[in-house]
Chain A
Amino acid sequence: MADNYQYQIPPNVDREEFMRTRVFVERDQVTNTTSNDLSGTWNSFDDRWDFDAWKQQFRLVINRMSLNAVEFDLIGVHASVANTLRRILIAEVPTMAIEDVFIKNNTSVMMDEVLAHRLGLIPLRADVHKFGERGPNDAPTDLNTIVLNLKVKCERIQGTPKSMPREQRLTNHTVYSRDIIWDPQGDQATEHRDNPIQPAFDDIVITKLNQGEELDIVMHARKGIGRDHAKYSPVGTASYRIMPEIHILRPIVGDAAHKFASSFPAGVIEIVKNARGQDEAKVADARKDTVSRNVLRHSEFLDAVTLSRKRDHFIFNVETVGSVMPAPLMVQAFDVLKQKCLLLRASLDNLNLQ
């Protein structure tokens, strides 16, 4: 490896601003990653917390939304804020999930505890705000518990020969999540009339039965958070990446331009005709780049391009499990952050310090 590689800050930008706001993506390492936001670090830049100044430059842009996922940009916040939001989405937003499984009869080949574990992982669609927490010593009430029943028996369809495949010979050969029936207690029937409680998906396979086997199970669902058990986590995953940037330092023309464009994922670099009629490489959409630094493997491009990432631009991708829709989930996540702060505030006041 030639050792004359030097990371170059692009000549047409303000050097101090570039150092303050970008992460340097070099050939063999990623540098300038440490946090430099504490008040008083920079000579020419006042870094103290100012809500109004922050509010001016903060932007939240939703890119795509679907029934079970949302992709949005959080611009103008520090990495710790984005990380806290991500951790809250994964571990601290409450949902309902099956916690107690009372097995009255299970003659299937699946062991009781394995079956109970699977039932706990089924996402339930229920309005969490209407339920309270149930501590280990609390009695179950209609305000903290959902009762669900699963009663399935597999039987042979009369008159079918044994040579036929299982699916045609037996009824209820597979137990699906749609077989779980909600048993409304107390006021639950009227409270949840608009949003009946049910598993988020109908076609989750719970177990399979053979002729004569049956399941007779009562389940209690409770409110919990992902920190306690992963079954309560409302997201399949929530992740973010930091916005990549590509600066081309010198014109790249002709065949080199095509090689340059093919070193990046499709859509990142486009080829345009420049003033002299040659093919020239231009940055089309840096957002599509996966920052594999593939281009820096080629020695002819080491001095032609500067890769960086913008420190305060986060591209969030949140995929829900089905129990909560993505838009209410995000609102809940911000609310959980606020509630945690208010709780700490109350605890601090309890300390009675000056």
Chain B
Amino acid sequence: MSAMDQDIQENRISLIPIDGEHADDNTCCTFAIQNEDHTMGGILRYIIGKNPDVLFCGYNLPHPAEDVMHFRIQTNGKITAADAFRKGLDDIVEMADHMSAEFSKQAHGTNFQYVASHDL
């Protein structure tokens, strides 16, 4: 049941070192995130890509047998990659809070039709 384990040690982030032209410093790095897949990768890529100081961000799942996602962020130097990651996570939390509040508000309102049985 490790997919659900709340222990932080399980859901770990580590860094993958990449050699070559774009050598890693604190503005370019690849994070290896355990126990995550497209569910978080897609939305993180979108939100972090919206950051004007981020030059590149993308993710991939190297192998389906391993429960690991690689997420790469390259910034223009004004902020660090870790800061861009943190901002992205905070933005998603803000967005999720607002959507949840909006749904609850609508569910307690009367703008919709309550049907007895739902024929799709």
List chain A positions with a Cβ less than 8 A from chain B.
Answer: 35, 37-40, 47-49, 51, 54-55, 58-69, 71-72, 74, 77-78, 80-81, 83-84, 87-88, 91-92, 94, 133-136, 223-225, 227-228, 317, 319, 327, 330-331, 334-335, 337-338, 340-348, 350-351, 353-354
Contact = CB atoms under 8 A, between A and B. Distances in A.
B93 interface: yes
Contacts of B115: 64-66
Contact of B93 (A62, A72, A338): A338
Contact of A343 (B3, B8, B39, B80): B8
Given A60-B106, A225-B3, A353-B26, A51 B95 contact: yes
B120 interface: yes
Contact of B40 (A63, A74, A133, A340): A340
Contacts of A71: 118
Nearest to B4: A133
A91 B39 contact: yes
A49 B51 contact: yes
A83 B42 contact: yes
Nearest to B97: A338
Given A63-B113, A64-B112, A94 B4 contact: yes
A351 B1 contact: no
B99 A227 contact: no
A81 B100 contact: no
Contacts of A330: 100, 103, 107
Contacts of A54: 95
A351 B13 CA distance: 7
Nearest to B82: A353
A39 B52 contact: yes
B64 to A, nearest CB: 13
Q: Is chain A's binding surface mostly helix, strand, loop or mixed?
A: mixed
A337 B1 contact: no
B103 A60 contact: yes
A345 B91 contact: no
A288 to B, nearest CB: 14
Interface string B81-94: 01001100111111
B28 interface: no
Report the 8 A-B pairs with minimum CB-CB distance, sorted nearest first.
A334-B100, A49-B50, A69-B118, A66-B118, A80-B42, A353-B82, A38-B49, A62-B112
A277 B12 CA distance: 71
Contacts of B11: 343-344, 347
B15 interface: yes
A62 B105 CA distance: 10
Contact of A64 (B52, B100, B118): B118
A72 B40 CA distance: 22
Contacts of B26: 353-354
20 contacts: A37-B46, A61-B106, A61-B112, A63-B112, A65-B112, A67-B116, A67-B117, A72-B103, A74-B99, A80-B45, A84-B39, A84-B40, A136-B1, A317-B120, A330-B103, A337-B43, A346-B8, A351-B82, A354-B26, A354-B80
A136 B85 CA distance: 33
B6 A133 contact: yes
Contacts of A68: 118
Contacts of A133: 1, 4-6
Contacts of B3: 225, 227-228
Nearest to A132: B6
Given A39-B49, A49-B47, A60 B118 contact: no
B13 A48 contact: no
Contacts of A66: 114-118
A319 B118 contact: yes
A347 B8 contact: yes
B52 A344 contact: no
Interface in B31-57: 33, 36, 38-40, 42-43, 45-47, 49-52, 54
Given A334-B103, A338-B97, 4 more contacts: A60-B102, A134-B1, A338-B92, A343-B8
Contact of A348 (B13, B49, B50, B107): B13
Contact of B52 (A40, A134, A317, A351): A40
A35 B50 CA distance: 12
